[in-house]
Structure 1
Amino acid sequence: MWGKVLGFMFGFMFGKWAGAILGLYIGHRFDRSMSQDFSNQGGFSKFFMNKDSFANQAVFFHAVFSVYGHIAKASGQVTPQEIAAASGLMDKMGLAGDKRKEAQAAFSEGKSNDFPLEQTLTSFKKSAFGQRDILQLFLEVQLQAAFADGELHPKERQILHVVAKHLGFSSRDLDRLLQQLDAQMKFHRQRASSSQSGPSIKDAYDILGVNADADDNTVKKAWRKQMAQHHPDKLAAKGLPPEMLEIANQKAQDIQAAYEKIKAQRK
């Protein structure tokens, strides 16, 4: 509104009625542009919402499990491993009672042929106020769904590209996250096993997203960036639901362990 008012005033001052009309038009375009930009940032809600309770947590949980189910069904049939992975995610998030039933219902909904994937992603992105770290954690959870049966089906990859693009991630970003997740899953399994060799140094570098010949400063910067993206306290401050913090905490622990292994190997 103020763009039109000021445009009209200044236009009239410098060009009388012709200038006022031109100023009114320019002001209108300015107002429209600002409105769209502010809407994309979440408007005033971004500043006044209660960060301790993630805006529309129902939207968040529905998106997590419905998209999870949609990816699981992409190959044609949901495997027992994928069902077990979904159940394991619910366990990790501490979902019980009605919350668990809602998550299971969302998972089943995602398996339907007419599941509105893009509409679901749009609602989720809006409820997350476009915060990239939250969106990335969501995408990483979906990547785990795709890897649940030990392989990435071409149709699963196709859906992941749709999810990534809708959330603002490029194909290159997705490939990088896939590589990091593959390394992190192997790294985590090896840490949990009784193997004397432990996690491989290659997986440690892949988790941080750097080459083995990177200098110490580059490695440290990569570690700091990864920790900033996955640190539970920082994500909680951005509004991540408490149920998701354990997932972020596990990722942060693996990132820290990978960095410590690299430092020990370089001594």
Structure 2
Amino acid sequence: MHYWGKVLGFIFGFMLFKLPGALLGVIIGYYFDKGYAKALSDNGGFARLLSGRNNLKNRMIFFHTLFSIMGHIAKSSGRVTENDIALASALMDKMGLSGELRQEAQNAYRAGKQADFPVAETVKEFKQYCFGRRDFLAVYFEIQLQAALANGQLHHNAESILTKIGKTLGFNPAEVATYISQAKASGQYQYQQKHQQHTQQSQQNQLPQLYQILGIEQSASDQAVKKAYKKLMAQHHPDKLASQGLPEQALTLAKERAQQIQAAYEIIKKSRGL
């Protein structure tokens, strides 16, 4: 919390004008604290301030949280299978993790599988590390969902854990439900892209999923479609995410998501004759 402006305002105001001055000083200090907090947030919070001096540590914090939660989710279905481990390794490969970062990710995954793994505390600490940057947290949550849905299915225990994680990160129930719906639609769309012929008819059949990828109903107005698209593209802008502290290895996944959003929007736009 930022309160030093109010404290100093009270002290100096009281020294100059006694109680009326103290009250005026608190009011001035309130607006100072508010402006200071916004300025810090707009510049990426503490993750941004630390990124230049301790970049390796910041990346380790990110990947430790990411893969420990992944291990915990994999274990939630009963046991961690060889397929679960292969999916985690594939994600590490996709991000290009090697050396210390890969070792940290592997250790974190093993830690997350333990019965006493403190999932709630881990997520809360990560949120504090991110200084509440919503776009950063949203992309992190999307990566978790993407990893959980890598095999095309989402176990009900995993969905329950992910729902709690989304709420702990600060998203309301409707937002969490939308993120999960988007991730499911994204996974289904990717699967169909790999296994079906790309015809005009197949694109028409995939329209419901494409609307879900944008997080809107198929009955949405043209203006609502465009607004949803712009919001998602801004949320996944690589320069913005990098400035907020998202490791370069994770930016690859954010860029892939942006490409999928772009593709979904283009097909929807074409189907509407826009």
Residue in structure 2 matching 1:7, options 6, 10, 18: 10
Matched AA of 2:91:
L
Residue in structure 2 matching 1:74, options 49, 73, 76: 76
Taking structure 2 as the reference length, the TM-score comes to: 0.81
Alignment partners' CA distance in 2, 1:142 and 1:106: 14
Deviation of 1:151 (Å): 3.0
Alignment partners' CA distance in 1, 2:113 and 2:184: 25
Aligned residues between the structures:
259
**Residues 9-24 of structure 1: pairs in structure 2 closer than 5 A:** 10-11=13-14, 19=19, 23=22
Residue in structure 2 matching 1:57, options 42, 56, 59: 59
Q: 1:207-264 CA deviation, whole Å, 9 max, x = no partner?
A: 1112222222211111111111123233223221110011011111111110111112
Matched AA of 2:89:
S
Alignment partners' CA distance in 1, 2:76 and 2:94: 24
Alignment partners' CA distance in 2, 1:220 and 1:118: 36
Deviation of 1:145 (Å): 3.2
Pair 1:192-2:194 in alignment: yes
Residue in structure 2 matching 1:208, options 185, 201, 214: 214
Alignment partners' CA distance in 2, 1:205 and 1:13: 61
CA 1:7 to 1:218, structure 2 compared with 1: closer, same or farther past 3 Å? same
Deviation of 1:141 (Å): 1.7
Deviation of 1:68 (Å): 0.7
Alignment partners' CA distance in 2, 1:210 and 1:148: 23
CA 1:225 to 1:167, structure 2 compared with 1: closer, same or farther past 3 Å? same
Provide the identity percentage.
41
- Whether contact under 8 Å (1:4, 1:23) holds in the other structure is no
Alignment partners' CA distance in 1, 2:45 and 2:148: 36
What's the C-alpha RMSD, in Å, of the aligned pairs? 3.2
Tell me what 1:230 maps to.
236
- Whether contact under 8 Å (2:47, 2:58) holds in the other structure is no
Q: Name stretches of at least 5 consecutive residues in structure 1 with no aligned partner.
A: none
Could you tell which deviates more after superposition, 39-48 or 102-111? 39-48
- Whether contact under 8 Å (2:181, 2:212) holds in the other structure is yes
**Residues 170-185 of structure 1: pairs in structure 2 closer than 5 A:** 170-185=172-187
Could you tell which deviates more after superposition, 233-242 or 47-56? 47-56
Residue in structure 2 matching 1:248, options 247, 250, 254: 254
Pair 1:105-2:107 in alignment: yes
Taking structure 1 as the reference length, the TM-score comes to: 0.83
Pair 1:86-2:92 in alignment: no
Matched AA of 1:7:
F
